[in-house]
Amino acid sequence: MKKKSILGIMFLATMMVLGAAGGATAATIIYLDNDAADAHNADWVTALEGAGHTVTLAPKQYEDIHTTPADVTFLNSFDLIIMGRHTSSGDYDDDRPTEPDAWHALTAPMIAMGPHNLRQNDLGFFSVHATENGDVTMRVVDPSHAIFAGVPLSPSNEIDITIPAATATDYTPMDYAASTDNGLLLATVVGGATANSPYIVYFDGSQPFFTGSTDAAPARTPAAPRLVFYAGGGITDGDFDLTADGTTMFINAVNFMTGAAPGDGDGDGDGDGDGGTGEVAVPVAGMPVTGAIGLGLVAAACALGGSMILRKK
């Protein structure tokens, strides 16, 4: 059977889960992508809109914000900027350090989904200039964080958030725990080229991305929270590749970032970042979606003979 650009029954079940969450406070989101509405980005937009958010797709429009003040004002008008996986690092690091500085000066929170833009000599989220990809699993470092609400983990806090058709995940190969990088490590890569490679990292905007710098890659401090959440690299660059639980996690991350405050690195809403025992998780924009509901709907879809077919080019 010819593979088409569709999500299939399992994705529809995921959207049912998100719709069933209800009560979500809609956020305005701009999704950065290399292309206009197409197979790379349509399903991400569908997932975000299914969670109650309003999405503006920006196809390769904001490559020179350091010379276009109106673009800076426009980007800052959103509750959240998502830099999708189907973007090119060279579009965000022209005229270094001027253009990267302009991106880090944006006061809107941001989620970055691909490692290529984040290398030391590009936007400089990390102190290494390397990327890797592989068939990896996620190990959650802090299961109590709001991003993981309603997501079932193994006894060792591991989960595979990509669908079987996704043969590889892009990530940054580095031992983050042993580095001079300053983000809050929320999840690591299991089975990757380097132990403790970051999968999800939160930067609260209170300190530089990493300690130390070079002329080509000065250590910069973002003006607002930034979240690295690697996704979208497992099929064709930018394609939707998350399971129902991975989708829950992604929407939790979006909701967390639209309510995150600088300094609130542990996600409890009190701004101290200490992760103290007994603290309450930060309220997110939408009601957390339970993994049990998601799995039930997916199981029902599969019982009906549904299958998940994503784009494979």
Place of tokens 């939160």: 202
pLDDT in tens, 2-17: 333 333 444 444 444 4
Is residue 307 over pLDDT 80? no
Structure tokens, 56: 């503006």
pLDDT given at position 231: 92
* Report for 41-45, 71-75, 155-159: range of highest mean pLDDT: 155-159
Domain topology for 25-287: Rossmann fold (3.40.50)
Q: What is the largest CA-CA distance in the chain?
A: 58
Supply φ then ψ for residue 59, to 5 degrees: -80, 100
Is residue 301 over pLDDT 70? no
pLDDT band at 172 (very low <50, low <70, confident <90, very high): very high
Measured distance CA(111)–CA(93) in Å, rounded: 17
Closest CA to 115 of 93, 96, 133, 99: 133
For range 270-293, the mean pLDDT = 34
pLDDT given at position 124: 86
| Least confident window among 28-32, 101-105, 211-215, 249-253 | 211-215
Question: What crossing angle do the helices spanning 291-303 and 8-21 adopt, rounded to 10°?
Answer: 150
pLDDT band at 305 (very low <50, low <70, confident <90, very high): very low
Measured distance CA(78)–CA(62) in Å, rounded: 14
Is residue 304 over pLDDT 80? no
Amino acid identity, position 28: T
- Buried/exposed code over 273-293 (b: 16+ C-beta within 10 A; e: otherwise): beeeeeeebbebbbebbbbeb
- pLDDT, mean over the chain: 76
pLDDT given at position 309: 28
Closest CA to 3 of 168, 237, 238, 165: 165
User: Residues, the chain, total?
Assistant: 313
| Least confident window among 53-57, 114-118, 210-214, 236-240 | 210-214
Choose between 194 and 275: higher pLDDT.
Answer: 194
CA distances from 192 to 61, 166, 199 (A): 34, 15, 10
Structure tokens, 284: 């997110």
Domain ranges of the chain: 25-287
Return the percent helix, strand and coil in the chain, to nearest 5: 25, 15, 60
- The pTM score is 0.76
